[in-house]
Amino acid sequence: MEIKPDILDTCTLLQACEWIAFGWEPMEEIWERHINRIRPELLDYKKSKEIYEKNNKNNYSYLIYIAASKLKIHLLKGYIKAKGRFYTSIFDCDDISFTMSGKSRELTNVENLTSCLDIDIKSSIIYTNRKSTLPGGGGNAYYIDAQISFEELKKVFPYNESTNKEENTNESTPTAYTTIYLDLMKKIIKQENITAENQLKKDYLKKIFNEELKKSGYESNKLADAMATLIRLPESQRGKRKSKK
């Protein structure tokens, strides 16, 4: 009998981002080890973006940051609710009976998140615009051990592998380099239905390229000749494959 992992009812901010990015369901660490779930080191945004754009191999960190930006917006707008322990810190003040100087103090047990300015994915901290409620005020308030209902998360971010993969590719892949010449060659391939079986004659293609280049203001007989050559298979260029038209 196959034993299935227990899926947690709530997830940390990192687990929420992993669900959005990869469809990973939140589970205890022992189960993650059992299914050999590999969680690479979470690099800083700038470094992860550079690595992703260079070779697209270490994409864990960058796709997590993309998911985090989506999560932050939904927290800010209140589309997703989170819970966490409310902490605050204040600065030294002469008019209060005690000082904490940057230390944290637990004010309440667990309460609903009311606002979101920023999130720390790795530490599961949500920074808010609430001010300290300690005597004297003057400090910032934030939530630690932030948790999100997994059921609520799935309603807002239903995971679909093909859709999410396409979205992440569109958001994180730099625009592919191209030129008007490459675009023109692709256009003619589609327009003339050029395939491995449908290899058109070079003179016919050269005439088309000459006309198109003239329209674009880049008229060149040599360029049209080169494009008519490169658009055809090497076998066709050597006369081993019969050309049409």
Packing angle, helices 60-77 and 13-22, rounded to 10? 110
Tell me the C-alpha to C-alpha distance, in Å, between residue 192 and each of 69, 148, 186, 187, 209: 44, 54, 10, 9, 12
Backbone φ and ψ for 147, nearest 5 degrees, come out as: -130, 145
So where are the chain's domains? 1-176, 180-237
For residues 102 and 243, the model is more confident at 243
How many CA atoms, within 13 angstroms, populate the side-chain half-sphere of residue 31? 11
pLDDT digits (tens, 9 = 90+) for 10-53: 999 999 999 998 899 999 888 887 777 777 777 777 777 776 66
Contacts of 97 by beta carbon, 8 Å cutoff, 6+ apart = 135
How far apart are alpha carbons 95 and 5 in whole angstroms?
Answer: 55
Give residue for tokens 């049409």.
244
3-state class of 3 per DSSP? coil
- 222-235 pLDDT, tens per residue? 999 999 998 988 87
pLDDT of amino acid 106 = 43
